[in-house]
Structure 1
Amino acid sequence: MGLSIRRMLLRSLYGFLGVSLLGCSSADNEMAGGNIRAVNHTLGAINWFSVNGYRAHGGGGSSCCIVMPIKWRPGLKAHIEWEVDPDPFAPSPPLGTDEFRLFMQKHQANYRRHSAVVDIPEWSGTESCGLKVHFLVCNQIKVTTSCWGYGSPNNPIKEPKQMKEPAVCKN
């Protein structure tokens, strides 16, 4: 009896997958996986971030994967959530001690979470190279799908790294 239930579940799953894949068969709806990359332009640390629910580790590496349309279309948005450690180089007691644990409790109380929704800029054809999220001062975000790396004259994001927070942020 257990075997027949398993067969029914597998047939249902295959049927569901077949219908799902057929539903995405038009060229305008085709999706592909890509990397999410963080570029931190601030002096704080980006502990983690997520884009449209795809979670990645913080400010300077890349993680797999995000699913995006193969062809750009108007209205594509990136909902980004992230956590910042404003003082990542604070001196701490030795690791593993009670003093360190107390320090970390107080230190983590200063972590701040933010979110933003930004437009995903247009790319042509299938030239998207994943999504790069640039963390700027004043909790501002820019994203790009450019294949050009940060620092290249062809990269659309020109803000420098290691930017200090201004005394007052514009809204």
Structure 2
Amino acid sequence: MSYLKGYAVYQWLAGCLLLLLTGCSLGESKFLAGDLGGVNHTSAGINYFSVNGYGGPNISPYGSRGGMCCAMLPRHWQPGLKLKVEWETDPDPYARLKRKPSGYGPDEVAYVKHKANYQQHSVIVDLPPYEDRLCALEVHFLPCNQVKVSTSCWAYPSPNSPIKEPLEMKEPAVCPK
């Protein structure tokens, strides 16, 4: 008898939870969520980046990372939508830092000196069109601190990706204004 009573209480609680969750999803959300990832086409390391405040992963030189959850975008795309992309670069990500005399961990003075070379960047870019579905927001870091963004379901380096730049790009002697 107590087993049936406990099971009935469990079913009742599960039903209440289901009703609460259903109640929260009534009506259409104003936003879509998608993974946030990046592709680094440069020799600098990307220590971190964000898009409209949503944090992305660090990315090694000439590398890519994805799967960070989540970037939120308006459910319905409209012309004129912008994104603010902020990032920090390490121009010498493979620098060998001097070790502490104990041999464990980097020397703090060497680390502070290395970290002084980090560079912060920020740019406003157009949000490319997308349907009422968002697979991912993919940010491409190009030479001269240029950024391109894709909302395509085709991730780089797929031939169907809208971003066609090669992965290993060299920094020009003079960057365009």
TM-score bin, normalised by smaller chain = 0.7 to 0.9
> What residue in structure 2 maps to residue 158 of structure 1?
164
Distance 1:150 1:111 in 2: 27
SS at 2:79's partner residue? coil
The code of the aligned residue for 1:120 comes to L
Distance 2:174 2:80 in 1: 31
The code of the aligned residue for 1:121 comes to P
Moved over 4 A (4+): 95-99
Deviation at 1:57, TM superposition (A): 2.1
Alignment TM-score, normalising by the size of structure 2: 0.75
Show CA shifts across 1:73-115 (max 9, x none): 1121110100000010112223765862111100000000000
> What residue in structure 1 maps to residue 41 of structure 2?
41
Match runs of 1:59-70 below 5 Å: 59=59, 60-62=64-66, 63-70=68-75
The code of the aligned residue for 2:170 comes to K
Distance 1:94 1:77 in 2: 44
Q: How many equivalent residue pairs? A: 148
> What residue in structure 1 maps to residue 80 of structure 2?
75
Distance 2:105 2:139 in 1: 37
> What residue in structure 2 maps to residue 14 of structure 1?
none
SS at 1:50's partner residue? strand
Q: Which runs of 5+ in 1 are unaligned?
A: 1-17
Match runs of 1:22-171 below 5 Å: 25=27, 30-59=30-59, 60-62=64-66, 63-94=68-99, 100-126=107-133, 128-171=134-177
Identity of aligned residues (%): 50
SS at 1:81's partner residue? strand
Cα 1:72–1:100 shift into 2, 3 Å: same
Distance 1:33 1:124 in 2: 13
Distance 2:78 2:106 in 1: 53
The code of the aligned residue for 2:164 comes to K
> What residue in structure 2 maps to residue 6 of structure 1?
none
CA RMSD, aligned part only?
2.2
Distance 2:170 2:109 in 1: 28
